[in-house]
Chains A and B, each alone.
Chain A
């Protein structure tokens, strides 16, 4: 086992015959004995940090703890490290997104005193990381609410980033003992859940609406707590849209299993009642039509959103769906008869239209009245197109 490291031969077997890692009687540790008894050559890790406590884990974004009238408050780093980027990547891919949260309560950046501003945010770690990253060279208190690991705007919409939670967290963190002023800076998008005048009445703290985006906070703070008009309006850039695509796709895993199964079953139906070889050969084509629909509705339409004609998302998705369906069916024209091609295009269009319609939930500008209006028109059409696609697909097996 130690061929590669002959100098370590036998180091994992203790002379007293005990298995490694188990020590019967603690021997006095000296620098010399440490060196000698290192198992398998790696030096020991650093000693326990002075801030470590039994039963608690020290988080790597915490720099140190600062003493305040309400006890030690963690001072957090303003630079993101590898674990933060890895965590962000994981949730962007839709993996365990609901568990990415930090403990609510008071944190700080820089060296805040009793006059330093108090910034309020959600306990979704991605939100918290974006905020602290925007606070380089700033001294401020950060009051993290318990929004159950949900971002600011969504939590405000669900009444988790709420008047009650702001008041509760201000009281629980005894903020009035930490700062001598009575101002809280909240992200503007929290206004859906927080009534500023009620916070004042119930906690004595005055809400000041900060900018929408964390990157504008420095300017906001140095500009006498005034936000430019552009900082008050949401945008939906191509980058904003692209980062949402993996999560959209991750929602499709479960339904896709059933769709794959159905596609193979439908494809097997033919003149021989049911043929396994047809299920396989024709099923693949139907899966390609489905995949083309996903690509058109959940990837291409979101990316090209402002340039696809129409206001309704279902229409935008249908347009991209037809174009993709026609293009891809043409590529596979040797495998498809006219009826099969029709089924292919209808399938891609219906799937694309439906998925594009579902993208409304990820945008910052669609109203529920509008979404409901387009759904009432679009869903019957999407269902009809899918039904016709199935009829045409099965029909093409008998025609062929």
Chain B
């Protein structure tokens, strides 16, 4: 999303181009247009657009994409600090 840019150089996104089978599913599922297919190989076109939702890695049949997925939500992250990652929840009355 060009009108909104968040902090640069933070994403955990990695792409191993050697493993890419060129199916293009990453380009389809990414809601921020991070990937583009060049000569039947995926390339990271806009790294700082990544919000680490994990859709690309989840759907890559070649497991060529790595990302530590999660929700970019301060209230949730505070909960993980206090209660630990497993007990934290972003359901009930908090955010989404």
**Cβ-based interface call for B59 (8 A):** yes
Q: CB distance A154 to B51 under 8 Å?
A: no
**Known interface pairs A158-B90, A371-B73. Does A235 touch B59 (Cβ–Cβ under 8 Å)?**
no
Would you give the shortest CB distance from B79 to chain A, in whole angstroms? 11
Q: A311's contact among B5, B25, B76, by CB below 8 Å, is which? A: B5
Question: Are B72 and A370 in contact (CB-based, < 8 A)?
Answer: yes
Q: Do A373 and B95 contact each other (CB < 8 Å), given the known contacts A232-B31, A233-B1, A368-B72?
A: no
Which listed residue (B29, B68, B77, B95) contacts A362, Cβ 8 A?
A: B95
What per-residue 1/0 map shows which CB atoms of B32-68 lie under 8 Å from chain A? 1100000000000000011111111011010000001
**Closest beta carbon of chain B to A187's beta carbon, Å:** 11
Residue of B nearest to A190 (CB): B55
Does B33 lie within 8 Å of A229, measured CB to CB?
yes
Is B86 part of the contact surface with A, judged by Cβ < 8 Å? no
Q: Is A151 an interface residue when CB atoms closer than 8 A count as contact?
A: yes
**Is A195 among interface residues, defined by CB-CB distance under 8 A?**
yes
Contact, CB under 8 Å: A305 / B4: yes
Do A367 and B25 touch across chains, with their CB atoms under 8 A apart? Answer: no
Contact B33 A361 (CB under 8 A): no
Residues of the A chain whose Cβ atoms lie less than 8 Å from the Cβ of B91:
98, 150, 158
Residues of A within 8 A of B6 (CB): 311, 365-367, 370
A194 / chain B contacts, CB cutoff of 8 Å? 58-59
Measured CA separation A232–B31 after assembly (Å): 6
Contact: A365 with B32, CB < 8 Å?
A: yes
In the complex, are the beta carbons of A372 and B61 less than 8 A apart? no
Q: Does A196 contact B (CB under 8 A)?
A: yes
The contact size tier of chain A is 35 or more
Q: Is the CB of A358 within 8 A of B74?
A: yes
Nearest neighbor of B92 in chain A, beta-carbon distance: A98
Q: Is there an interface contact between B92 and A234, defined as CB atoms closer than 8 Å?
A: no
> Which residue of B5, B25, B49 contacts A196 across the interface (Cβ within 8 Å)?
B25
Residues on the A chain within 8 Å of B92, using CB: 98
Pick the contact of B96 from A154, A229, A365, A367 — CB < 8 Å? A154
Q: Which residue of A lies closest to B61 (CB)?
A: A197
Q: From the candidates B12, B31, B58, name the one contacting A234 in the complex (CB within 8 A).
A: B31
Q: Within the complex, which residue of A192, A196, A306, A361 is in contact with B73, where a contact is CB–CB below 8 Å?
A: A361
Tell me if B1 and A236 are in contact (CB < 8 A). yes
Complex Cα–Cα for A197 and B59 (A):
7
Evaluate contact between B10 and A191: CB separation under 8 angstroms: no
List, in ascending order, chain A residues with CB within 8 A of B72's CB: 360-361, 363, 365-368, 370-371
Partner of A357, one of B1, B31, B51, B74: B74
- Of the candidates B1, B11, B96, which one forms a contact with A151 in the assembled complex, judged by CB atoms under 8 Å apart? B96
Report the minimum CB–CB distance from A31 to chain B (whole Å): 53
B96 and A361 form a contact (CB under 8 A): yes
Is B55 within 8 A of A306, CB to CB? no
Does B22 count as interface, using CB distance less than 8 angstroms?
no
Answer whether A369 and B10 are a contact pair too, CB < 8 Å, given A195-B59, A357-B74: yes
With both chains docked as a complex, state the minimum distance between the C-beta of A226 and any C-beta of chain B, in angstroms: 10
**Contact mask B1-20 → A, CB, 8 Å, 1/0?**
10111111011100000000
Contact A236 B4 (CB under 8 A): yes
Contacts of B78 in A (CB 8 A): 375
Could you tell me the distance in whole angstroms from the C-beta of B72 to the nearest C-beta in chain A?
Answer: 3
Given contacts A367-B72, A370-B7, A370-B72, 14 further A-B contacts (CB under 8 A): A151-B96, A188-B55, A189-B31, A191-B55, A192-B53, A194-B58, A197-B61, A306-B3, A311-B6, A313-B74, A361-B72, A364-B51, A365-B72, A368-B72
Chain A residues near B (Cβ < 8 Å): 98, 150-151, 153-154, 156-158, 188-189, 191-197, 209, 212, 227, 229, 232-236, 250-251, 305-306, 311-313, 357-358, 360-375
A-B pairs with lowest CB-CB distance, top 3: A361-B73, A366-B72, A154-B96
